């Protein structure tokens, strides 16, 4: 069996969960070289793959479709197998529990330790944790096997992964199997679960601290600190509430509100104490003091309107697909967005890595969290793009719970561009949309939720209303958006998407005065002249793609992007916009930057467009 890669060769070695970190030595990355084998017929269990060495190797956490994995096979993979040895560190206490954390495995993962199944998880974008203690049975070494199924013809939430061989238009190569870090953690018999941190307008934090294996007499303690020292501390008994909860009041002279320009983070030390007051478990975390509220047409951040100048961020890299090739690459994309004048991103059709959100927290970059619900791509009944409601809800609430405590997350978008053509199919769409929306509201009452971005707004009480409009003429975009002042804003319908059958009902229920923004616009198609031959040659379809007609030169690009953007940021009834997009992605050539993150434009001129505050905010 292949041994773990040496530390110097381990990719993505940083802690995968920076908002909940136990002391050094209590976790172990499993990134590196694993044994690997394709299982095209999904018959590997019957053929004995669980019990034997595998025939190839792969570099985890990179998917086999990616070049960085060492496999680089872009074909479909019905199932794939991973195998490696585990050796627990000698200083991990024998009585501790051993947890396996998988940040993302696409799509259906089953895990065995020494041939014993320890768990299964469905959901290609969400994290899961399994307790290996019983299967280890006190052994310090074992064999870990993971099978990942990614069935080609099942209707799954795939995000932007193409369901045909070549990526075209806004669909990209597939991702199968392990594509985010895998790691072990040693925890005591009684241990802290992921904290749930809620700031409020009174300048306090409500901190929920779940305890696994807790007993009466134990206590949880939370201590909040800033650079000047301790700010607040509080304790709560274990067992009095289902989940122990403490409140940390920040004195007025120590309050710093988190936001763009001043992304202040408090350090948060969490402890589980035994009946004698000794520390059983401790975790380092952080928190940002930040509130969100709806005020007519506006969304308020810390009681003030902040115009949301967002950019669509697909989160793909040429060599590693959906997995960031390095920690530095995650930070670089945020810095590129800020350098272009944006103050946040809509992470599109992908659940962001936790470390990405950590850096958004640290750098003051606003984020809309989104579920990757695309993926049917015509494989199901016509227009039935979001049909597996229970599957979607189960995976989405995992994502909301995981990312709840990040101050940078300022809104939730459970669905994208839902639409159905026929009367009798609206029932299914309504069920799915309502389930996703109300599940989100049940999980989080502190952030706005949009029932579906673009197309079908099927929840009358949705917090936010939006549209997607790729009109390339600023005058046409202005005409479309002009109805907002009369309470009849632009909405995506069958007529303006070219997807409606005669007599079909409107996609959306009537607008009810919610905060409104154009959450996708622009997408201006531009490839620099010296790149066009290489771009067209690299694209499987023979030509690059973008929205509308490709602009003839850079000057036309600047005029168009400024004209489109000014329509939105000068409208006092608009709370923000989202420009498509941050980078080119494979054949889609409409980014502010190249796919390799190269500069395509004069960034001073780009910042003059996107870095401008809304006109009505300047007046106010």
Domains by residue range for the chain, with CATH: 7-187 (2.60.120.260), 202-287 (2.60.40.10), 292-619 (3.20.20.80)
CA terminus-to-terminus distance, the chain? 67
| Mean pLDDT of the 451-468 span | 94
pLDDT confidence of residue 153? 83
295-314: average pLDDT: 97
Mean pLDDT of 549-558: 93
pLDDT in tens, 9-65: 799 999 999 999 998 899 999 999 999 999 999 999 999 999 999 999 999 999 999
The model's confidence at residue 69, banded by pLDDT at 50, 70 and 90, is very high
d(CA 232, CA 249): 6
pLDDT(371) > 80? yes
Rounded to an integer, what distance in angstroms lies between the CA atom of residue 152 and that of residue 146?
A: 19
**In terms of Cα–Cα distance, which of 142, 144, 146, 170 is closest to 158?**
170
Lowest mean pLDDT, pick from 216-230, 319-333, 424-438: 424-438
Is residue 166 within 8 Å of 542, Cβ to Cβ? no
Percentage of residues in the chain having pLDDT higher than 70:
90
What pLDDT score was predicted for residue 282?
98
**What mean pLDDT do residues 487-507 have?**
66
* 537, pLDDT greater than 70: no
Residue with tokens 């172990």: 28
- In the predicted model, what is the mean pLDDT of residues 468-495? 92
| Average pLDDT of span 479-492 | 94
Which is more confident, 432 or 573?
Answer: 573
| pLDDT the model gives residue 390 | 66
- C-alpha dihedral, 146 to 151 to 157 to 160, nearest 10°: 100
For the cut 60, the answer to whether the pLDDT of residue 7 exceeds it is no
Chain mean pLDDT for the chain: 91
**H or E stretch including 56?**
strand 56-60
Cβ atoms of 531 and 589 within 8 Å: the answer is no
* Structural tokens at position 553: 């030169």
pLDDT at 549 over 70: yes
Q: Can you tell me the mean pLDDT for 302-312?
A: 98
Task: Give the pLDDT confidence of 127-142 residue by residue, as tens digits.
Answer: 999 999 999 999 999 9
Arithmetic mean of pLDDT, 196-205: 98
What is the model's pLDDT at position 147? 98
Q: Please state, in angstroms and as integers, the Cα–Cα distance from residue 511 to each residue in 18, 182, 224, 497, following that order.
A: 40, 44, 43, 19
Report the pLDDT value the prediction gives residue 616, as an integer from 0 to 100: 66
Where is mean pLDDT largest: 145-154, 202-211, 506-515? 202-211
Distance CA 39, CA 41 (A): 6
d(CA 52, CA 553): 58
């Amino acid at each position: 069996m292949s041994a773990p890669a040496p530390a110097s060769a381990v990719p993505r070695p940083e802690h995968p969960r920076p908002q909940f970190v136990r002391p050094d030595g209590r976790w172990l990355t499993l990134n590196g070289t694993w044994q690997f084998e394709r299982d095209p017929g999904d018959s590997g269990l019957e053929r004995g793959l669980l019990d034997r060495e595998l025939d190839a190797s792969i570099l985890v956490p990179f998917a086999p479709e990616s070049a960085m994995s060492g496999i680089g096979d872009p074909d479909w993979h019905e199932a794939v197998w991973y195998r490696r040895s585990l050796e627990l560190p000698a200083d991990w206490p024998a009585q501790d529990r051993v947890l396996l954390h998988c940040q993302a495995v696409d799509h259906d993962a089953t895990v065995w330790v020494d041939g014993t199944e320890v768990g299964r998880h469905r959901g290609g974008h969400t994290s899961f944790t399994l307790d290996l203690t019983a299967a280890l049975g006190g052994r310090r070494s074992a064999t870990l096997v993971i099978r990942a199924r990614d069935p080609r013809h099942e209707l799954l939430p795939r995000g932007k992964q193409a369901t045909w061989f070549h990526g075209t238009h806004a669909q990209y190569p597939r991702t199968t199997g392990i594509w985010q870090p895998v790691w072990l953690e040693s925890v005591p018999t009684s241990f802290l679960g992921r904290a749930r941190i809620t700031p409020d307008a009174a300048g306090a934090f409500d901190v929920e601290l779940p305890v696994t294996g807790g007993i009466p007499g134990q206590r949880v303690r939370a201590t909040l600190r800033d650079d000047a020292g301790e700010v607040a501390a509080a304790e709560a008994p274990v067992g009095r509430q289902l989940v122990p909860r403490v409140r940390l009041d920040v004195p007025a002279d120590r309050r710093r509100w988190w936001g763009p320009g001043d992304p202040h983070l408090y350090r948060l030390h969490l402890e589980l104490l035994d009946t004698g007051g000794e520390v059983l478990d401790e975790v380092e975390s952080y928190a940002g003091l930040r509130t969100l509220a709806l005020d007519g047409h506006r969304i308020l951040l810390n009681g003030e309107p902040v115009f949301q100048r967002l950019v669509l961020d697909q989160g793909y890299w040429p060599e590693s697909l959906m997995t960031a090739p390095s920690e530095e690459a995650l930070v670089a994309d945020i810095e590129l967005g800020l350098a272009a004048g944006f103050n946040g991103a809509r992470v599109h059709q992908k659940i962001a890595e936790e470390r990405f959100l950590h850096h958004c927290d640290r750098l003051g970059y606003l984020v809309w969290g989104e579920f990757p619900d695309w993926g049917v791509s015509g494989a199901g009944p016509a227009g039935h793009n979001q049909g597996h409601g229970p599957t979607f809800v189960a995976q989405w609430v995992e994502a909301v719970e995981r990312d709840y405590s990040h101050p940078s997350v300022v809104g939730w978008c459970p669905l994208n561009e839902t639409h159905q053509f026929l009367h009798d199919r609206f029932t299914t769409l309504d069920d799915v949309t309502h389930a996703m929306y109300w599940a989100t509201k049940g999980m989080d009452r502190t952030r706005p939720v949009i029932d579906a971005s673009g197309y079908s707004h099927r929840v009358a009480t949705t917090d936010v209303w939006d549209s997607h409009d790729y009109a390339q003429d600023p005058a046409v975009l202005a005409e479309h958006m002009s109805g907002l002042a009369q309470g009849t804003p632009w909405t995506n319908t069958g007529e303006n998407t070219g997807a409606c059958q005669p007599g079909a009902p409107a996609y959306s229920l009537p607008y009810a005065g919610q905060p409104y923004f154009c959450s996708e616009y622009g997408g201006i198609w531009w490839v620099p002249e010296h790149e066009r031959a290489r771009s067209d040659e690299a694209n499987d379809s023979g030509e690059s793609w973008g929205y509308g007609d490709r602009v003839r030169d850079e000057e036309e690009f600047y005029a168009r992007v400024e004209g489109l953007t000014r329509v939105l940021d000068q409208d006092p009834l608009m709370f923000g916009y989202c420009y498509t997009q941050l980078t080119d992605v494979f054949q889609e050539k409409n980014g502010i930057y190249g796919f390799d993150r190269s500069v395509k434009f004069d960034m001073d001129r780009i910042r003059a467009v996107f870095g401008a505050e809304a006109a009505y905010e300047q007046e106010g």
